[in-house]
Structure formats: C-alpha cells, structure tokens
Amino acid sequence: MNFDPFVIPFNIGLYFILIYAVVRSVIWFRELSRPDKLRLQRGFFGRAFGQSLKEIFLESLIHRKILKSNPRLGYMHMSLAFGWFLLILFGTIEADIFGERHLNPPDRAIFFRFFNPDHGKTFFESSYAFMMDLILAFILSGLVLAVIKRFSSKVVGMKKTTKLKPLDKVALTSLWLIFPSRLIAESLTSGAYGTGSFLTGSLGEWFASFLPANELAYPFWWLYSLSLGTFFVLLPLTRYLHIPTELFLIFMRNSGIRTGDRPGTYSEVEVHSCSSCGMCIDVCQLGFSAGINTIQATYLMKGIRNREELHDIAHNCLMCGRCDQICPVGIEISPIRMIVRRTEDIENVYESRWKGYLRSRINVVTPRQETGTSYDFLPVRKQEKTDVLYFAGCMTHLTPSIKKAMVRILDASGLKWSFMDEDGGVCCGRPLMLEGNDREARELINHNSDLIWKSGARTLVTSCPICYKVFRESYYLDLEVLHHSQFIKNLIDEGLVDLNYLQKRVTYHTPCELGRRSGVYDEPLEVIKHVASLEATGYDNENSLCCGGSLGNIMLSREKRQKIAEDVTARLTACSPDSLITACPLCKKTLAQATSTRVMDIAELAVEAIAAVPEVKKTRRGVSKKKVIGETTATI
Amino acid sequence: MDKFGFTLSKARVIDYEANDRTIVDYIIEREPSLKLCIECGCCTATCTTGNFTDFSLREIHILLKRGENEQVRQKIKKCMLCGKCILVCPRGVNTRNVVSLARQAFRNTEGYEF
C-alpha cells in the first residue's frame, strides 16, 4: 500500500502549519528593530544557539520548572509534550528502518501501523513496537490527567484552571482525540493481524475477539488523521500557537532581546507563547485574597491575543511581580502590562488579514497630544553641597517615625549629609509611570535630577523602595543610589554605627518594589539578623507577598486592599513575632492597619538598637567597634 | 427686594442648570467611591502638589460635583498621582483613580481640550 485518502486531512494540516510558520517568522523577523536583528544574528552563530537548544529540551519538552513547583502538573505537561516528541522521533526512525524505503514523507511515520500491518513479528521489531507502546501509554496517562484537570483542577494541585474561548475548546477536543484515536486505530489493526505489543497488541486481541477489527480500524484511522489536521489548522488561532512560538521566544531571549517599553515582535512572541497553563492564577493575591479572578496574566495574554477590552485587566493589578516569578515560560508579564497601560490612550490601528491568521499588533503609535507642561509650577529650589543626599519620599513623609529614625541614623553615622525633601519634596515620578504617563513623569524626574546634580552628592539614600527603583532605572544619575536598608548595612560594615542586639523575635516582609522589582533581598535580612532574631515565614525572598497598598493598582477599592493586607499580616505573624519588620513606608502603613502586631520599618529597628541599653551587648556576635553610640545618643 | 439690597451677588451664584455633569457622571460610573467624599480636606492637607501651589483635591471634588469642569480641567493636570491622599482619606475614596478618570474623561469627551 502506498497511498490511502485518509492521510489527506493530516497532510493538509501539516503543510499548512509549516508554510504558516515560515510566513509568520519572516513577518516577525522583518518587524524587529535593527539592534534586535543584529542580536538575533549574533545569537544564531554564537553560544545562544546551544543554550536555546538545551533550554528548549528542558523547558518546552521536560517542563522542568513546572515539575519542580508542582510535580503532578509537570508530569501532565511533560507526558504530552515530551511523549509526543518521542513518538514523532521514534516513529520516524521506525518508518525509516522498517519501512519499504528510507526517507519517507511524514504521513508514513505517523500512520506506520496502517501501511505496515505485518510489522512486529520478529523479535527486534516487536521490541521496537514495545517501546512505541510505552511512549503511547506515557502520553495517554498525561491525557487522562489533563481531562481530569479540566473538570477538577484540584487533582493536579491547582486551585483554578484557565477559562477557555470556544475555538480553544474545539482545538482542545481535537488534541484530546488524537491519542485515543491512534490507540484504538492501532489496536484494531494489530488485532486483525496479530501484531502489536503490550498495549495495542493486547487491546487489539480483545477487540478482535468480538469485533470485526479490520473493518472497524479504517474509520478510526480517518478520525486520527482528521483530529491531527483540525488541530494543526486551528493552531494559529488558539492558545496552542504557544507550541511553536515558545521555541522562538527561548531563542530570542537567549540572544539578549528583552520586552522593552514599546509593543514589538518580542512582546508579541511572548503573548503568543503563553500556554494558558494558569500557574499565574494560583499565585495572584488579587485572586486568593480579594476574589478578583478576571485580571490574571493568562487573561491579559488572552485579551491581547483576542483583542478584547483591556483597560480593567491592565490597570487592576498590584504589579507585585509574583506572576513574573512563577511563569514557566518566562514571559515578562509586568513589562507587557505596562505596554498596554502606556498604549491604551494611543490610537490603536490593527490590521487583520485572513480572518485573524495573520494579524499585526498596534501599528500606529502616536504619542498622546497634550497641551503644555503640567508641572511648570514647580519652583527652582536650592540644594546645598553634600556627600550623602537623603530623599525620604512622599510615603515616608506620611510615616514620620521612619523619617525621624533615618535622621538619627544619618546623624549617628557622622557623614556629611543633607535632607533633599525636608520641605515635602516632589514625587519621584514612579506613580505616574505606573499609570503609563511617562511624559509627565519625565518632568518630575528632570526636576529632581536637577536638585541631585546640584548637591554634588556621591550617595543618594532613599527610604522608599518605589523611589529607589525609579532613581536607579529612570534617572540619569552619576552616583550610588541606596535604599536605606543597604545604607544601614554599609554603615554597620564600615563600623560607622554600632548596633546592639535586641532580644526580639521578628519576621520580615519583603516589599515588592525592593525585592522582586529591584532584586534587593540580602541587605535588609543582614541588618535584621544583626540586631534581632529573624523567623522564617514561608514567604521569603522571591516568594514574598504584596501588602496590598501598591500604587501599581489604581482601581482597587479600600475594602479589597484591607482584605489583602489582613491576609498577608495573618500569614506573616503566624509565629506571633514581637514585631513585623518591613522596609517600605507604604507597606508599613498598609500592614499596620491590618494587624495588632507592631509593624516597624528596618530604620526604626536600627534606631532602637542604637538606643538600647548596652547590657545586651554580651549576646552580640563579633567584637564591639569604636564607641560611637555613647557620643551620638548624647548629641541627638 | 431690590430696593433693600438683598439681591444675590452674581459671583456667588451656582447655576446648576447651566453646569455640565458629564465628567462627574463619567467618574462616578467607574469609581463610585467618589460619592463617599465628605470634603473634609485631609487629601489637600497632605498633598505633595499642594505644597507648591493652591492645588486642592477637595476643591476639585467640589467643582466636579458642581459641574464646573473648565476649572477642574485647568487644575487637574497638576496632580502627581503620588497617592498620599488615598492613605489619609477617612472615607476610603480612591482619589488617584478619580484624578486619573477625570483626565481620561476630558480626553474622551468632546468639547474639552486636554
């Protein structure tokens, strides 16, 4: 047998998807910016290529990240992806070795058993068939899990699974049909010819005992081919586009391309790489604390793909970055959300050809036309020359105890310092940026930069992680920017302040803007460990929670913020510590409203340690440095 | 009455008929917490922008509710969205969203330049 009409649907699907992949890649490549094109070319001939292959194997096939965090879910994804890959690979080899000739067209390998029903008689052939059956069984076990997950996601250890659009459901059904129809088709053919291994062979034998196996096999081969064809044709319109797109994403990422702040090829590839696995749903605090289940990253990606109304999804987010951390595909979710926030007031022009098969993203990007500047009322302010410049930040002015503590620490350090915003100051610009108003933010940035340059300082210390992030990333400054926790740590290391050990049990809440957003984890912990006994909470470092007060979310009502804060404080004070330490004035204010435990900033803790009675000194680790405390406490 | 000098001073008349509530309706539809505002002025007391100008969020809320949109349009650009007002508000008004929505409303409503 050389040909049978049932292979036609499969072939149409296969060649369609291959041509589509080429056309789409060419379009994507052409739309890349020039530097990104160069990066990609360099990556192709450099180390990035090898790294990408390794990553594709580990992440796209084995799904290592999901396996680590959730073994059952990981097994489900692995069995489908890796199993299918093995089936195609060994199927091709099988057709090549045992087929009539070498180098067969793909349909020969896929429908091998149909064209070679006698195969499997000799020992070598049957052991190969055993392996093929094993792979099929591996896939089917994952498929069973996937079907169960659709109906009860708790089985695979997920609280919620993603809601799908109708076309996704059609594609999902055809995907689910592929492997069972292959199993039945192969079994019936094997049953009729007495071949096949432990799975197809024994099932076929049983079928053949009471059914006309040979006649029944043919419709199932048609079903197998049809479900493959349907799946391939629908693939570009559904979430399953992530299967080919993720390969591009991994290669582009390894070549050094990043999302940036404008819509472009990379963000589009990222959006299409989202497999809607739903891991971001379970980590989202808006979901599990505030009951908002429509705005998670997977829905953002789906909304962008289907061009839904995005305003609420984009803005109703704490920007805490927990989903960025968990995403197994490594999609930079927050930058994409920021792009949507920035572009939504822009006139969006979409083009659609071929009923959505080839759609391009927002094409016309015209900056919003606003008349005049908004902040021309800001006065020209004076700034004295100094070494260390302290910027408290708006939120710190609302929590004066942090400000006072920092003033004491700075005085105690003996450094020459100056208070940049003692009069209340001007906002750092990040709250505006978080709303997508970059142009307006730039005016504030220029104003503050001017003052910082005038001061001639070498170090800028800020008490607010929100300001810290924007000073580091969006200001053009030629000085060292430190969060006060880093500054205090430096003071301790250099022996400029001497802190006593307090008999206190504390837990630490990592502020999102300081931790996940700026990568400052160790310094605050070291300061705390230096002066108190730190208890682990299970929400440390990358896994930290958002306090709920985030300025990233403009839409969240106070009641929901309160709910999140109460949930967070309950988790962080479960071991009933003496105080809950944080390093952000906004976190402090939000958390303090939700708990009876004392919430302190790290600066307040340090000041308490400076002022503490020296009796506890003996419990302190290390040698005592020069007596700074005695003098400073007297002068303050 | 005119004879006795008890006329209303023109400058103090608020003409509710002539004033335009489209902007405030647009905001309240999307941010109902604006209705909770008691005009206590805590937001104005803590305001970063208010430190430099006569900008007053309390005033803006009053003007919005009266429908004196032209004045709001001129003033509202000055806000820096820093969010201190949310934290001090005793009624839980989401003031940042009010400002953001007001700007959005001016952009999206015909007849206003923003």
Cα separation, A75 vs A148, in Å, equals 14
Of A366, B102, A441, nearest in space to B112 by CA = B102
Which of A377, A394, A423 is opposite residue B82, by nearest beta carbon? A394
Q: What is the pLDDT of residues A510-524, one digit of tens each?
A: 999 999 999 999 999
Q: Please, which residues have CB within 8 angstroms of residue A308's CB and are 6 or more apart in sequence?
A: A302
**What pLDDT does A626 receive?**
40
What element of type H or E holds A581? strand A579-582
Cα separation, A549 vs B83, in Å, equals 10
**What pLDDT does A287 receive?**
95
Of A435, A509, A514, A427, nearest in space to A468 by CA = A514
User: 10 Å Cβ neighbour count for A515?
Assistant: 24
Which has more confidence, A495 or B16? A495
Find the mean pLDDT for residues A474-491: 95
Q: CATH topology for A258-360?
A: Fumarate Reductase Iron-sulfur Protein; Chain B, domain 2 (1.10.1060)
Residues in a beta bridge with A389: A418, A460
Cβ-Cβ contacts under 8 Å, B84 against chain A: 394-395, 397-398
Chain B nearest C-alpha distance from A367 (Å): 13
- With a pLDDT cut of 70, the percent of chain A lying above it is 90
Cβ-Cβ contacts under 8 Å, A375 against chain B: 78, 80
Chain A nearest C-alpha distance from B73 (Å): 11
Q: Do A589 and B87 touch (CB under 8 A)?
A: yes
Architecture of domain A493-635: 3-Layer(aba) Sandwich (3.40)
DSSP secondary structure of A172-208: HHHHHHHHHHHHHHHHHHHHHHT---TTHHHHHHHHH
Quick check: do A388-482 and A493-635 share a fold? yes
Question: Which of A366, A435, A439, A558 to mutate: most B Cβ within 10 Å?
Answer: A558
Which has more confidence, A243 or A351? A243
Using CA atoms of A110, A116, A118, A121 in order, give the dihedral in degrees to the nearest 10.
-60
Of A227, A275, A233, A269, nearest in space to A252 by CA = A269
Cα separation, A533 vs A577, in Å, equals 10
Reported as a pLDDT band with limits 50, 70 and 90, residue A168 is: confident
Task: Give the residue from chain A lying closest to B76, CA to CA.
Answer: A374
Residue holding tokens 């400002």? Answer: B99
Architecture of domain A388-482: 3-Layer(aba) Sandwich (3.40)
Contact A17/A232 with Cβ under 8 angstroms? yes
Q: Please, which residues have CB within 8 angstroms of residue A509's CB and are 6 or more apart in sequence?
A: A539, A544, A545, A547, A568, A572, A580, A581, A582, A587, A591
Which of B31, B53, B113 is opposite residue A377, by nearest beta carbon? B53
Of A482, A466, A479, nearest in space to A406 by CA = A482
Q: What is the pLDDT of residues A229-262, one digit of tens each?
A: 999 999 988 888 999 999 999 999 999 999 988 8
Find the mean pLDDT for residues A463-489: 95
Contact A272/A283 with Cβ under 8 angstroms? no
Find the mean pLDDT for residues B36-45: 94
**What pLDDT does A366 receive?**
47
ipTM for the predicted complex comes to 0.89
- Say yes or no to pLDDT of A264 above 90: no
Mean residue pLDDT across chain A: 87
Cα separation, A203 vs A446, in Å, equals 75
- Domains belonging to chain B, first-starting first, are 18-108 (1.10.1060.10)
Using CA atoms of A69, A75, A80, A85 in order, give the dihedral in degrees to the nearest 10.
90
- Annotated domain spans of chain A: 5-242, 258-360, 388-482, 493-635
Cα separation, A53 vs A61, in Å, equals 11
Reported as a pLDDT band with limits 50, 70 and 90, residue A373 is: low
Question: Which of B28, B47, B82, B94 to mutate: most A Cβ within 10 Å?
Answer: B82
Reported as a pLDDT band with limits 50, 70 and 90, residue A346 is: low
Cβ-Cβ contacts under 8 Å, B88 against chain A: 398
A419 φ, ψ to 5°?
-95, 110
Q: Do B92 and A377 touch (CB under 8 A)?
A: no
Q: What is the pTM of this model?
A: 0.87
Find the mean pLDDT for residues A296-320: 89
